[in-house]
Amino acid sequence: MKRELPIGVSDFEKVITGNYAYADKTLFIKELIKGKVEVTLFPRPRRFGKTLNLSMLKYFFEKTDISKRHLFDGLAISNYPEIMANQGQYPVIFMTFKDVKAPTWSECYEKITSIISRECKRHKTCIDALSESEQEIFQALINKTASKGDCEDSLLLLSQLLYSQFNAKVVLLIDEYDTFIHEAYLNGYYDDAIGFARNFFSAGLKDNNYLQQSVITGILRVAKESIFSGLNSLEVCTFLGIHYTDKFGFLESEVLSLLSEYDRADQIDAVRTWYNGYESGKHHIYNPWSIITFLRQEGAFAPYWVNTGKSDLIKKLVIGDQKQLREDLDMLMTGKYIVKKVDEDIVFSRLDRDPNVIWSFLLFTGYLTFHNTTIAPSNAPGKDGSTKPPTPTEMSDSIHQTVELYIPNTEIFSLFESVVGEWLRDTIDIKSQEQMLKHLVAGEIEPFKNFFSDFVRESLSVFDVSGKEPELFYHAFVLGMLISLRNTHEIKSNRESGYGRYDVMIIPRDNSKPGIIIEFKKVVPEYKETLKTAAKAALEQIADRDYATELRTRGIKQIIELAIVFAGKRVLVQQAKNS
């Protein structure tokens, strides 16, 4: 009997008792206890299982009147009695900020005080352990009438209260700590949010004598000087590291098990193409939301994760006017990787002007993934100007990681396609574009040539096509235009066929229509090339490497082979004589 699919269910007890599908991540508990780190931050993309994992920790650690030990029966952690001895032994503070999204600071602050109020109310039976003055503050927190300073100190006050009641230190769980900071950046109240967050988290995490262990999740590690200033006990575990790298996201084995359970094992290759591709330490992981929704939709492929979040900030970043940013985006869109230095500390104020911060942001938010990490310490002197060996904290601050970045899968590629498409809609006349594509898919190449040449001449600046690899720009430009054909055609880019990798292939869903292969090539004057000779070489490449293999295999009879060659804004579209 198939288990239920946990769409939108992130409460661990409900998942276990409700017979929902669950990828067993309970060894996360063992790794935490064995690690003995006081405060650990786990930045992961949205919908990668962060809230469910923290809910699991809550049910494991929390002292309750009714034992929750049975929730872990039969799960991996139950095989470790020395770890299970910790079950139900600690008071727990659990707060999630995942829904704190508001257009103004006053509305944001009201949502935060509501979260504080609910958690205080959950522990209201412990109020007798407080002094009279502390009881007044505690009641004001419940009633949402407490001062801003008392709200900022609420984690510390709750810790003290619970320690006094249970004579045991507190496990502090904070879920999606940075959601309201992202909203603040987008809506113009960043300074207010950062000021509150700095005081709130410092009070609860720094020099809190009642703290046993704290686990924090979020999407990003916001720069330490902004929030976690002076917190020397903090360990940050991103998917660039070596710890906990299999605890968020689905592993290949977990996906295969789910696909088999729901009779979708035969779709594994397509599932890999659509939703795999993320690197996490030594593991390859899948986006859990996409896999669960794919199964819920009975095996239909779609960009489920991309469609659950706002992409306004992504579009704002990658449609910028910075030349290098555009060239790098073109590289990514053509299936290649870019080499960048990434920093785990994100400074939001630098997003608009520092491309390195943009790539770090795209990596840690799940829109890119990485390969081949190189860690290099800075040669800068210590913070005091001396050349003495840096402290561990200073060493952490001075290390950067250079990685190869690429688009992980088809789902994320669809977002970048829409970004390029939006840029194109702002750049060219949409009616003329539609007419041009109509000619292309009908096999009417002469009018297509005329339309395309006009677009290049009238719509593209020399700036756009003057980079190191201008063919990447043309490649991305054409891909962006082809987005509108998705209902009638399958668009592929940089895939293997025959004896090589073609640039673009347009595959009709109706086999009676023509299939189209496009190869891009720039003119190299040093080799005395012309537009015509370059076009001839591109068409010969299509023929010699037999790129048409995939189209023939699909039963498509009419195959059109096109070369698009260019020298700056001068462009030539040439069709193979035999096509």
Query: Residue 428 corresponds to which tokens in the numbers above?
Result: 């060219």
Q: How confident is the model at residue 393 (pLDDT cuts 50, 70, 90)?
A: very low
Identify the bridge partners of residue 492 per DSSP, sorted by sequence position: 505
CA angle 360, 491, 517 (to 5 degrees): 115
Say whether both 187 and 39 belong to one domain.
Answer: yes
Residue at 6 is within a domain: no
Say whether both 449 and 345 belong to one domain.
Answer: no
Residues 259, 251 contacting (CB under 8 angstroms): no
Q: What is the pLDDT of residues 240-298, one digit of tens each?
A: 889 999 999 999 999 999 999 999 999 999 999 999 989 999 999 999 999 999 999 99
Residue at 58 is within a domain: yes
Say whether both 155 and 43 belong to one domain.
Answer: yes
DSSP string for residues in 285-352: EE-HHHHHHHHHTTT----TTGGGS--HHHHHHHTSS-HHHHHHHHHHHTT--EEEEE-SEE-GGGTT
Helix or strand or coil: residue 490? strand
Say whether both 317 and 406 belong to one domain.
Answer: yes
Q: How confident is the model at residue 310 (pLDDT cuts 50, 70, 90)?
A: low
Q: How confident is the model at residue 389 (pLDDT cuts 50, 70, 90)?
A: very low
Q: How confident is the model at residue 402 (pLDDT cuts 50, 70, 90)?
A: confident
% of the chain at pLDDT higher than 90:
55
Query: Residue 14 corresponds to which tokens in the numbers above?
Result: 């409900």
Residue at 211 is within a domain: yes
* Chain mean pLDDT for the chain: 85
Number of domain units in the chain: 4
Say whether both 181 and 328 belong to one domain.
Answer: no
Q: How far apart are CA 353 and CA 412, in angstroms?
A: 24
Q: What is the pLDDT of residues 556-576, one digit of tens each?
A: 999 999 999 888 778 899 999
Q: What is the pLDDT of residues 38-49, one digit of tens each?
A: 999 999 999 999
Q: Write down the pTM of the prediction.
A: 0.75
Q: How far is CA 446 from the centre of its chain?
A: 42
pLDDT for the residue 544:
93
Residue at 280 is within a domain: yes
Residue at 438 is within a domain: yes
Residue at 139 is within a domain: yes
Q: How confident is the model at residue 388 (pLDDT cuts 50, 70, 90)?
A: very low
pLDDT, mean of residues 128-155: 89
Say whether both 20 and 97 belong to one domain.
Answer: yes
Higher pLDDT among residues 433 and 141, named by residue: 141
Q: How far apart are CA 538 and CA 579, in angstroms?
A: 14
Sign of CA dihedral 254, 260, 261, 262: positive
Give the domain range for residue 262.
250-308
Give the domain-ending residue among 355, 378, 410.
410
The residues, ordered by sequence, that sit 6+ positions from 60 with a Cβ below 8 Å of its Cβ are 26, 29, 68, 72, 77, 86, 87, 88
pLDDT for the residue 528:
83
Scan for tokens 């930045």, then name that residue: 43
Q: What is the pLDDT of residues 182-238, one digit of tens each?
A: 899 888 999 999 999 999 999 999 889 999 999 999 988 876 556 776 676 789 999
Q: How confident is the model at residue 373 (pLDDT cuts 50, 70, 90)?
A: low
pLDDT for the residue 418:
73
Q: What is the pLDDT of residues 156-181, one digit of tens each?
A: 999 988 998 889 999 999 999 999 99
